[in-house]
Structure 1
Amino acid sequence: MNRTRVKVCGITRLEDATMAVNLGVDAIGLVFYSASPRFVEIGTAAVIAAAAGPFVSVVGLFVNASVEQVKETISLVDLDILQFHGDEDEAYCNQFSRPYIKAIRMHHDLNPNKSILEYPSARGFLFDSWSQDKYGGTGEIFDWNRLASLRGRPIILAGGLSPDNIDRAVSTLKPYALDVSGGVEAAPGIKSSKLVQLFVDRCSKA
């Protein structure tokens, strides 16, 4: 776990996916939550997933989706892993015959150690900023020191990340991966090749 991996989430265009893969990201994220400005239609998502290649993970993000929606999506889009970013419980997350990541939104009174015990089948945990009316995509940073007791575990860190704070994120937590979206964008859902390159480069050196 010496190398911090990079996931670029909120991919909406084939050209951005190809660019991110060519720049060396480990994973790309496709958002299937219609309220998000980074929502992607299933047909476009299928094309993007097929172009990712065999060694880049394609992650599908869902927020309180119906079982039918998730099943339809995974039947049409070649997803490697699911990411549940809402209020889904363990039984819900574990029913789709796919490995999954559970996102934990860091409410001020949440105990991360207790929260992860509620999802024993999860492949990993992504920690993101809390918002009353948003499920991710806030662009805000939470107090990373709240995860200090989890250090040594495969932490996936999200929320307000950009090329400017990679060094601090890595030195604070030594995370398994950094999950970035808005911090590498020219506009919502439109990735900047310059910022993605900078993010990947700085992460590799942190």
Structure 2
Amino acid sequence: MGTEVKICGINSHEALQSAQLSGADYLGFVFFPKSPRHVSIEQASALTRQVKPGVKKVGLLVDASDDEIRQILAQIPLDILQLHGGEPLERVAEIKRTFGLEVMKVVKISDKKDFENIPPFEEIADRLLFDAKPPKGLKNALPGGNAVSFDWRLLSGKSWSRPWMLAGGLTCDNIKEAINISGAPAVDVSSGVEDEPGVKSADKIALFASLAKNV
């Protein structure tokens, strides 16, 4: 079985169709207004109605309130809630308990000390996603999608009791190396398959997915 692929930041019909044609296993919809990939509830509702059975619909949230999550779920049948902010352990558990959906907690990595944050979340979250911590001094840094990677060797030989994904600065040029070094069973790409921030490239999506699934 090849590496699973998540295409995040789906915000148009063209991006959605390209991702599905490429065989993406997960489609990510960003509900964070400051992101160039942000979608409104109305946009995401229209797009998710086109998602094929078996493809997981993931909602990227950043420190969202219960009311915000309820408004999204009232119109969009998400499969997974991706918590990409600074949500503490108690909040992750609360969201999972309140909404009854799979929760994927993002852990931001810059060095090996950051792995100390993983075990508590491993007990609560259904999935983990390891993303690069934005470098200090990076202007207009986003919670994710900054086209920044971390040292994949930090993941080499490690395993967790929960399914996990690798994110952060992945592109068609480095995805094979990233998987070979990290051993990632699933990868998440956003800016790495764009022609400009928020504008997905059908060719890059297809190539990325093909490379990842054939490592």
Task: Determine which of 120, 125, 130 is the counterpart of 2:128.
Answer: 125
Residue 102 in 1 paired to residue 105 in 2? yes
Task: Determine which of 109, 113, 116 is the counterpart of 2:118.
Answer: 116
Cα distance, 1:42 vs structure 2: 0.3
Cα distance, 1:152 vs structure 2: 6.6
Residue 172 in 1 paired to residue 171 in 2? no
> In the alignment, which residue of structure 2 is the partner of 1:46?
45
Name the SS of the counterpart of 1:172 in structure 2: helix
Change (3 A) 1:162 1:30: same
The answer (yes or no) to whether the contact 1:14–1:47 under 8 Å persists in 2 is: no
> In the alignment, which residue of structure 2 is the partner of 1:135?
143
Name the SS of the counterpart of 1:200 in structure 2: helix
TM-score by length of 2: 0.89
Name the SS of the counterpart of 1:45 in structure 2: helix
Deviates most, 148-157 or 187-196: 148-157
Cα distance, 1:149 vs structure 2: 5.0
Name the SS of the counterpart of 2:155 in structure 1: helix
Name the SS of the counterpart of 1:69 in structure 2: helix
Distance 2:214 2:157 in 1: 25
Cα distance, 1:66 vs structure 2: 1.4
Distance 2:124 2:157 in 1: 21
Amino acid at match of 1:148: S
Amino acid at match of 1:196: I
Name the SS of the counterpart of 1:71 in structure 2: helix
Amino acid at match of 2:29: L
Distance 1:121 1:47 in 2: 31
Mapping of 1:157-168 within 5 angstroms? 157-168=166-177
Q: Considering only aligned residues, what root-mean-square deviation do their CA atoms show, in Å?
A: 1.6
Amino acid at match of 1:55: G
Name the SS of the counterpart of 1:195 in structure 2: helix
> In the alignment, which residue of structure 2 is the partner of 1:35?
34
Deviates most, 3-12 or 129-138: 129-138
* Structure 2: gaps of 5 or more residues: none
Amino acid at match of 2:194: E
Cα distance, 1:74 vs structure 2: 1.2
Fraction of identical pairs, as percent: 35
The answer (yes or no) to whether the contact 2:22–2:210 under 8 Å persists in 1 is: no
> In the alignment, which residue of structure 1 is the partner of 2:204?
195
* Structure 1: gaps of 5 or more residues: none
Cα distance, 1:109 vs structure 2: 6.1
Distance 2:199 2:114 in 1: 34
Runs of 4+ residues over 4 Å off in structure 1? none
Change (3 A) 1:110 1:135: farther
Distance 1:100 1:18 in 2: 25
Change (3 A) 1:8 1:118: same
Amino acid at match of 1:182: S
Name the SS of the counterpart of 1:20 in structure 2: helix
Cα distance, 1:91 vs structure 2: 2.9
